[in-house]
Chain A
Amino acid sequence: MGWLIFLALVIMLAAWGIGTYNAIIWKKNSTDNAWAQIDVQLKRRHDVIPNLVETAKGYMGHERETLEKVIQARTQATQATAVKEKESAENFLTSTLRSLFAVVEQYPDLKANQNMLRLQEELTSTENRIAFARQYYNDEVMRFNTYIEQVPAVFLAQMFGFGKKDLFQVESLEEKKAPQVKF
């Protein structure tokens, strides 16, 4: 009788182990997929930028430096691979694009250009998609991290070496600082 109870316990333990392991794998793959989705959207952004620069070039002969900065930032972003490296490269690209659009404001003809309007809408949409893809990735990472840190999954996670995943944070350190108001 005793060994029967023991056998039942072993089977239950194995079933729990398999179930938990599968759940960890499922969540891990979900986060990987979410990361791949960010990549897709970043690629989309990198594809829009050359067209944007090309359209702006005709009107902004004196702003060559700004345009070159955007191109340089784009090249850096396409070459980055690691999460942290990608983060900083994309942040730099975002800041150069911001300065480009600030300059575009000074050129009414360029602002009214149909092609430019279309590209701006395309870029706005792409930025939103990146933000949403990042949000989805961070949600998935949070689910994964929470799951592998909770009892009882934490035992299996440690046994098989599943570690916490990094969140994708876009704000630069400067942006995180609270703004100082001076009178």
Chain B
Amino acid sequence: MPYSFVAIEKEKTHTIAVLLVILVVMYFFTCWGAWLIVKNAAVLQATRGEGFRFLGISLPEVVVVFLIAMIAGVVHYAYSTSRLIPRLLALLKAEPLDTHSRTHQQLQNIIDEVCVAAGGLCIQGCVVRSAACNAFSLSDGKENSYIGVTEGLLLRLNRAQLESVIGHEAAHIAMGDTVIYTVSTSLFGMYEGAMSGLRESCSGGRSLRGRGGGFWFPGGLALGFIMCMHGLNRFIMASVAQEKEFRADAVAVKLTRNPLALAESLYIVSQFWHGQKESQRGLESLFFADPAVEEETVFSSHPPLSERLGILLAMAHADEPALEAALARVRPRIRQAKRHARASRRVRRKTDGQAWSVLEEGRWKGPFVLSELQGLKWFTASHKVRREGAPAVKPAYEDHVLRSLFASAANEKEASFSCPHCYQGLSPRYYEGEQIHVCPSCKGVLCGRSRLDTILIREEASFSPETVELAHHIKDECEQRFKEIRALKTPFILPCPQCGKKMRRKLLSRAAPVEVDLCIWCDLVWLDRGELELVQVLYDEREDKDSFLA
């Protein structure tokens, strides 16, 4: 096996030492150059150009320069590697797995399974709430290893395919590649941002010299240094990463014994968007597929996907057309299949209807006084009621007197949340694999803001034609009169089911102009009946999905 722990430990220590030495050497030559220039500039200033002779560096000066380089290198290393993993996780917008989500539970299980296959690795899972299709691994070599997966990937891969992707990332961790990538990214990757900043300023026609006047000299030196670091990072990544991707694929197959699943995952990933180019600049090597390029070349951090796919398909004794056909067969249009079931449920709901005289099973019962109603075991907020002497028939939860009855009942049951409209206890339910709380009477939905993003990314539920049509109307109207619609908002109406403070009523976003109630303290969203589906339809039809989530 190529992944014995002793070998990993040795390689890890060795690689980190090499990286530190490279860093010190870089600083040494930079300091050497700076010292030489400053020294000669000072002499030139003193002699005013008369009899100027270029001065070299004496041995004691070399020692001083070396000491400075050592200190700079060590400080840089210590700074870059302190809180390494939390910083990178924050940069990648990765979040811990949600224990209430079935999909996340499954992901954690798959990670644990792969750890067993690798002979007892210890890896934690995290997730990025993005529609992109990608995965990454992080490791600081001190027992902190993470595998992160985007929600988009979770949605599109089945269990075996996901297992193969996790196997690939676990192989990187087991072989020690992730430590190199993580430390190297942290040491040299910070210059990537500076480099792109420089590129932008240069393309904007502004030079360092022109802007700063007297600062041209340190500016030029910094530019040289940044370019060296940038080049070094590219060189390290290009020299090690491509070959290691092939090795990781091989080890993943050895772990899962399923080359076809890995080939399928690569194919699916190649068909979808890999991630945002700008936010992940300098972090490409950490990913399953390079997010910075549409198509990999021999110069990118990853080998071309087609090449990896070809090797895996040969291992599985399959070819690409057969793979495409197999994937088309196993991914049916779930939404269309579920549409009929949803429509029939809707009709059944309409025939429901019960009643101060209470309409029970098609017959008016009562009239009951409040205390009698409280004693009726079968009476719920969704029963239709008619106040004696008043002709209007309405659901019990719309009657302000009966509301208090349900509110106290919800408290007695110790329901975790109660509906802000009808004061019924909300019942937890799974929707698109995520836990939400639904009011049994008014069918309103309460969910966390971040959980709403996850629900939007998933595509298990289906929608009725009416919902789709309504969403189109909203979209059209919003495009014409967004400002007017936004001005119509009515702030602070409903109380938050968790903290009781008034929620802010607002449009969810410009892309989803659906009025929802947001609790800014608890980060919860209340959506009235049907609004969640509307937002989902609007999200599905949007091309620029990540800006929708933002």
Name A's B-contacting residues (CB within 8 A). Answer: 33-34, 37, 41, 114, 117-118, 121-122, 124-125, 128-129, 132-133, 135-136, 139-140, 143
Instruction: List 28 A-B residue pairs with CB atoms under 8 Å apart, sorted by A's residue number.
Output: A33-B120, A37-B116, A37-B120, A41-B116, A114-B430, A117-B102, A118-B105, A121-B106, A121-B109, A124-B109, A125-B106, A125-B109, A125-B110, A125-B112, A125-B113, A128-B109, A129-B112, A129-B116, A132-B113, A132-B114, A132-B255, A133-B117, A135-B257, A136-B117, A136-B118, A136-B119, A139-B1, A143-B1
Chain A contacts of B257 at CB under 8 A? Answer: 135
Q: How far is the CB of A144 from chain B (nearest CB, A)?
A: 12
Are B113 and A121 neighbours in the complex by a CB distance under 8 Å?
no
Chain B contacts of A129 at CB under 8 A? Answer: 112-113, 116
- How far is A117 from B105 in the complex, measured between Cα atoms in Å? 12
- How far is A43 from B131 in the complex, measured between Cα atoms in Å? 38
Complex interface bits, B114-127 against A, C-beta within 8 A gives 1, otherwise 0:
10111110000000
Q: How far is the CB of B401 from chain A (nearest CB, A)?
A: 35
Chain A contacts of B117 at CB under 8 A? Answer: 132-133, 135-136
Are A132 and B116 neighbours in the complex by a CB distance under 8 Å?
yes
- How far is A129 from B113 in the complex, measured between Cα atoms in Å? 5
Chain A contacts of B120 at CB under 8 A? Answer: 33, 37
Given known pairs A121-B109, A125-B109, A143-B1, the reply for A136 and B102 (CB within 8 Å) is no
Within B96-112, which residues are at the interface with A (CB < 8 Å)? Answer: 102, 105-106, 109-110, 112
- How far is A140 from B4 in the complex, measured between Cα atoms in Å? 11
Q: Count contacts on B: residues with CB < 8 A to the other chain.
A: 18
User: Closest residue to B435 on the A side, CB-wise?
Assistant: A114
Chain A contacts of B109 at CB under 8 A? Answer: 121-122, 124-125, 128
Within B60-116, which residues are at the interface with A (CB < 8 Å)? Answer: 102, 105-106, 109-110, 112-114, 116
Chain B contacts of A124 at CB under 8 A? Answer: 109
Number of A-B contacts (CB under 8 A): 43
Q: How far is the CB of B460 from chain A (nearest CB, A)?
A: 14
Chain A contacts of B114 at CB under 8 A? Answer: 132
Q: How far is the CB of A25 from chain B (nearest CB, A)?
A: 14
Chain B contacts of A114 at CB under 8 A? Answer: 430
User: Closest residue to B256 on the A side, CB-wise?
Assistant: A132
Are B102 and A128 neighbours in the complex by a CB distance under 8 Å?
no
Chain B contacts of A139 at CB under 8 A? Answer: 1
User: Closest residue to A132 on the B side, CB-wise?
Assistant: B117
- How far is A139 from B116 in the complex, measured between Cα atoms in Å? 13
- How far is A129 from B105 in the complex, measured between Cα atoms in Å? 15
Within B259-293, which residues are at the interface with A (CB < 8 Å)? Answer: none
Q: How far is the CB of A176 from chain B (nearest CB, A)?
A: 18
- How far is A64 from B163 in the complex, measured between Cα atoms in Å? 36
- How far is A33 from B119 in the complex, measured between Cα atoms in Å? 9
Chain B contacts of A41 at CB under 8 A? Answer: 116
Are B119 and A34 neighbours in the complex by a CB distance under 8 Å?
yes
Within B523-542, which residues are at the interface with A (CB < 8 Å)? Answer: none
- How far is A32 from B1 in the complex, measured between Cα atoms in Å? 16
Chain B contacts of A118 at CB under 8 A? Answer: 102, 105
- How far is A117 from B119 in the complex, measured between Cα atoms in Å? 28
- How far is A62 from B111 in the complex, measured between Cα atoms in Å? 38
Apart from A121-B109, A124-B109, A133-B117, 10 more pairs, CB < 8 Å: A37-B120, A117-B102, A122-B109, A125-B112, A129-B113, A133-B116, A135-B117, A136-B117, A136-B118, A140-B119
- How far is A37 from B112 in the complex, measured between Cα atoms in Å? 13
Are B112 and A121 neighbours in the complex by a CB distance under 8 Å?
no
Scoring A33, A34, A37, A125 by chain B CB atoms within 10 A of each residue's CB, the highest score goes to A125
- How far is A56 from B312 in the complex, measured between Cα atoms in Å? 41
